Amino acid sequence: MTSHHAPFQPAVHLAPPTGWLNDPNGLCLHNGRWHAFYQHDPAGDVPTSMHWGHATSDDLVHWEHLPVALEPDELGQAFSGSVVTDVENSARFGAGAMIAVFTHHLDQGGRISERQSLAISTDD
């Protein structure tokens, strides 16, 4: 929940502290804490550089914003996807690994390529 009532900032819903917000990309319970990921451009109010924002909560009302989870790299911007917690180590990255599957979007002067990518976190 936001601690202030800035214009255009909801009082109860999760919203980034700055920048543009788009798709929710994952809500998962990890080690007793909720993690929310969302498509986000922290630099402004229009989508020019897609990142994934990240926030955590104990009660789904009060949120702590964490550093960006995914940012653009040589493969492109981090577009939509989803996150799961692999409780049973099905993917063999370690029990409790958080696994994100997302679209990398690269625009090279009008030549667009997209690919599915995987990101894994084993450090909470």
Q: How far apart are CA 63 and CA 34, in angstroms?
A: 9
Query: What is the separation of C-alpha 59 from the centre of its chain, rounded to a whole number of angstroms?
Result: 19
Amino acid at 70: L
Q: Nearest-CA neighbor of 42 among 63, 62, 70?
A: 70
The two three-digit tokens of residue 26, written as one number: 């994952």
Catalytic one of 23, 58, 107, 124? 23
Residue with the two structure tokens 């989508």 = 47
**123 in active site:** no
The single-letter DSSP state of residue 73 is: B
CA atoms within 13 A on the CB side of 75: 14
The two three-digit tokens of residue 20, written as one number: 């543009």
- Just list the catalytic residues: 23
